Structure formats: structure tokens, C-alpha cells
Chain A
Amino acid sequence: MDQLLQTLKDGIAIGSLYALIALGYTMVYGILKFINFAHSDVVVLGAWLSLLFARKLEAVTGWGAPPWWAGALVLILAMAACALAGFCIERLAYKPIRGAPRLNVLITAIGVSLFLQNMGQQEWMFGTRPANIPALVNDATLFTVGRVNFTLLDAAGVGTALALMVGLEWLVFHTKIGRGMRAVSHSTATASLMGVPVNRVISTTFVIGSALAAAGGFLWALKYSQIKQTADTSWTLLGLKAFVAAVVGGIGNVRGAMLGGLAIGMLEMFGAAYLWSSMTDVYVFGLLIAVLLLRPGGILGKAVVEKV
């Protein structure tokens, strides 16, 4: 019973993190129909910037125990900085090749990814050594069920992820800009005939996706406290799993990304707890293969009929 509860808790925690990152992949794909391979590097940027901001803040306030607003402030700063980075990436790398063949765009995305990884390794950026982020939450056990502790850190992590997802859901389905995004994702030309400023909608999509990526990086840092260097393979794996979550949920579908993220997180944690813990990657990519074979459009996706 305790193991079940613990596994559920872990699954939700890691799953909501995957979901946050998956949203960025799926939103960009929904609108521009390409996989932004640099997205996971924005997650890394978010994690490292969280670390820098946390250290600065600690130096300024000289905290023994972090004040309650420390985490929120760092999160907001990291999200804002990554939003700006996402805006610049789109403007400088992707906008000039709008309308180019898809392969060109894909190669550009890989180029941006390599650029960010190598920039991050420079000594004047983040360097090549892992670093520890100062504690941002004055952790305490909120309540205990059986032998499973629910801590403030758990609650803050899952709460942040859920709040952001609810916010995004509201933005996409209940605001004017969200309506514009959905219109552009269906047809750029028709959307522009409605007066939707397509370029601005695309910029907004990158800004929002990157801000969510930053939140993902922040939560990752909060959870594991040690941050690996920007080209570390563990980051690639995190990005890949979030991408799998987006595909499993149905690429281009916002709700699908959330669902896919939770599904992947649960699968990993249950597989690790009840089967072999060394094979978590196998479960995730096994699920990807199964979904691609049985329901290629993803759980919430629609099968696309190729028009000839």
C-alpha cells in the first residue's frame, strides 16, 4: 500500500514535469509543424538561470532559511528570461526560413540546440562542472499517509506544474490569442484572412512554450538540486522523454501533451517500482513504439488522412 502511494506520488511529480516540457514541443508543432529540437536546451537554460538567480538572491538577502517568496521569484525570473530567449530563437533562427522545406527547418533546430549546449559550456556562461542550487523552499513534511511523507517541496512542484497547465488551457481555449493560435494551427492562410497576425501568434507560441520549459527546468533543479552541465546526456534524455510524451498524447494537442506527460511519468515510476528499476527508458520508448504502431496519431490525436 505504501509502495503504491509512493509510486503514485512520484509518478505525478515527474509526470507533471514531463507534461510542462511536452507542451512546448506540442504547441510549436501544432502551429509550425516542425519539432523544435532546441526546446530541451531551453529547459536546461531555465534550470541554470534558476541556479544563477537563486545564488544572487541568496547573496543579496543572506538567507539562512529561504524566505517563502524566494522560489516564486526565481521561477518568475527564469520564466521571463527563457521567454525572451525563446522569442529571440524564433526571430533569429526560424523566422528567416519560414516557408523553407521542412528538412531545412529541422536541421536549423538541431543547429540551435548544439549552439545552446556549447554556449552553456563556456566558462563565462555556466561552465562544464555540475553545480548545486541553493534550497529555495524551506522544506517540511505537510502530512504523512502510512509511511509516505508529503512534503512542501512535493506540493510546490506539483502545484506549480498544475497551475501553469490550467493557465495554459485557459489561454488556449478561452482567450482571443488562444483562438488565434488554434486558427493558425489549422490554417495559416485562413487565419490571416480573419485578421489574425500570424507572425505575432507564432512569436507568442515560442514565448509561452519557452516560459513553460523554464518552469520545467526550475522544477527539475528543485527536485534534484544538482544541475548537470548543458551538454550532459541526461538533459537530452529528459527532452526526448518529454517529446515522447507529446507524441504519445497526440502531437499538436495541448491536452494530449499533459496526458502524455502524466502517462510517461506513471509508467516510469510504476515500472521502476514493480519491475526493473534500471529499465525505465525501455518502458518509455517501448510505449512510444506501441503507440506509433497501434495509434500513430497519439491518444488524443486524430489520424491524419494523407490527401493525394
Chain B
Amino acid sequence: MLEVRDISVAYGAIKALHGVSLSVAKGEIVTLIGCNGAGKSTTLRAISGLVRPGSGDILYEGRTLRGVAPHEIVRLGLAHSPEGRGVFPNMTVSENLDLGAYARKRSEHAQIREDREKALDLFPRLRERLKQSAGTLSGGEQQMLAMARALLARPRLLLLDEPSLGLAPQIVQLIFRIIREINAAGTTILLVEQNAHMALQVANRAYVLEVGRVVMSGDAKELARTDEVRKAYLGHG
């Protein structure tokens, strides 16, 4: 479904990615783990068009995403819930959700309303807060809003950037349960996480990123058993 081929990204003189390749098949949950600054977010930003790779190519459902603007990539069925959640604090929860469906046509009105109901069923807490401005939500609620909003684009592939960041363990459990549910309902997921423990539990396959390179990849459960991953990412001395 998604194929990232040997992409390099530089911010000015600083190279963030040195030839990263990865692939995501339909129906999978694939996770990208690694430390701060390993290039996880940059990889997602390159996929959704926010940064342009200097070299390499990104193929989504067989077509290249090179030179395609971010707002057009959304239209292709690829939604990105960004790092730091990116909710619009001055707008209400309801308006934030409407923005998620911005790329969709007016003729899809009925379908959008249905998707909105589904998203709110998934995150019932948001339903209670529809008229509240998003800036007043708790961190966990903002994360729920960011995910619900991304779902309103009706993505076939959902990119999630650090959904567990800064959340209480209980909320993290809840968020990961919902990630599974979203996947079970037919959405493919590429998940970036620092919480390797949770990410490896939920994912089918995983890539380990270190300073802009993929250093390991494979089945998530198997990777979780390797010494390198256990030591570096799971905190087992």
C-alpha cells in the first residue's frame, strides 16, 4: 500500500534522514520506533508532503507522492495525525472535526455525518465536549480529538505520530485499544512511537530508526525479543 524508497531529507544543512526505506501492506499496523531525533516524525512528514525528500521516492497505492501537495495527499486517503496533536485550540471540538473532513466534497455530506457519528462512538468523551473549545481539553482528550479528526478524512492509511506522548498510563492503554479497533475496522496504520513497549505490542511489524537510518526491521513480537531492542528501547538491562 505504501512504499518508502530510500528517502533522504535535510533541514538546511542538517540531514535528518539518510536513505530510509519501509513498506506498509494493506490492513497492517506498522510501527516506527526510535529515540528522539531518530527521524521518525520526519519520515511521516515526508510521507504526507510537509517536507520534500531530497532523493528517493514514496509510492502510495502504486503512485508517486513526489511533488503532490499535502492537501492533495489527504484526498488520496492518507491522513496524518501530527506530533503534538495539532488541534486548533480556538475552535470548538465540533469545528475541529469538521476540519478533518475539509478535503471531502459537499456531496458526501451524509457519509461525513455517518463517519462523524462513528468517530464519536469511538471517543464518547468528545461527544460530551462538542461545543467546548479544543484548547480547554485535557491532553488525552486532545489526542482523541486529533485521531477522530484524522478519521473524518476517511483514510485508508492513517499516520499516527506519538499518540501516547505525555499521557497517563491509563489513557495510553485506552488510546492503544482504540488504535486496534480502528485497524480492525479496516484502516491501515503507520504508528510512530517512543513508547516502544506499547507500540510493539499492538503492531504487526516494526522498524527501528537510529539517527536517520533503519537499523532493524521485522515482525514486531520477534523484534521485542531481540537483545538490542530489549536493552535500548524496552528498558531491560
Contacts and interface: CB of A to CB of B under 8 A. Distances in A.
Given A179-B95, A189-B50, A194 B89 contact: no
Interface-central residue, A183, A192, A196, A197, by most chain B CB under 10 Å: A192
B153 A194 contact: yes
Given A179-B91, A182-B91, A195 B86 contact: no
Interface string A162-197: 000000000000001001101100110111111111
B102 A196 contact: yes
Given A183-B99, A189-B50, A190-B82, A195 B90 contact: no
B80 interface: yes
B95 A195 contact: no
A191 B49 CA distance: 13
A195 B95 CA distance: 14
B103 interface: yes
Contact of B86 (A179, A180, A187, A198): A187
Interface string B69-109: 11100110001101000101111000100111011100000
A259 to B, nearest CB: 17
B40 interface: no
**In the complex, which range does the number of interface residues on chain B fall in?**
20 to 34
Contacts of A179: 91, 95, 98-99, 102
Given A176-B102, A183-B99, A189-B50, A194 B90 contact: no
A194 B102 contact: yes
A8 B40 CA distance: 60
B74 A183 contact: no
A27 B75 CA distance: 27
Interface in B142-192: 149, 153
9 contacts: A179-B98, A190-B82, A192-B69, A192-B70, A193-B48, A193-B86, A195-B102, A195-B103, A197-B71
Interface of B: 48-50, 69-71, 74-75, 79-80, 82, 86, 88-91, 95, 98-100, 102-104, 149, 153
Interface of A: 176, 179-180, 182-183, 186-187, 189-198
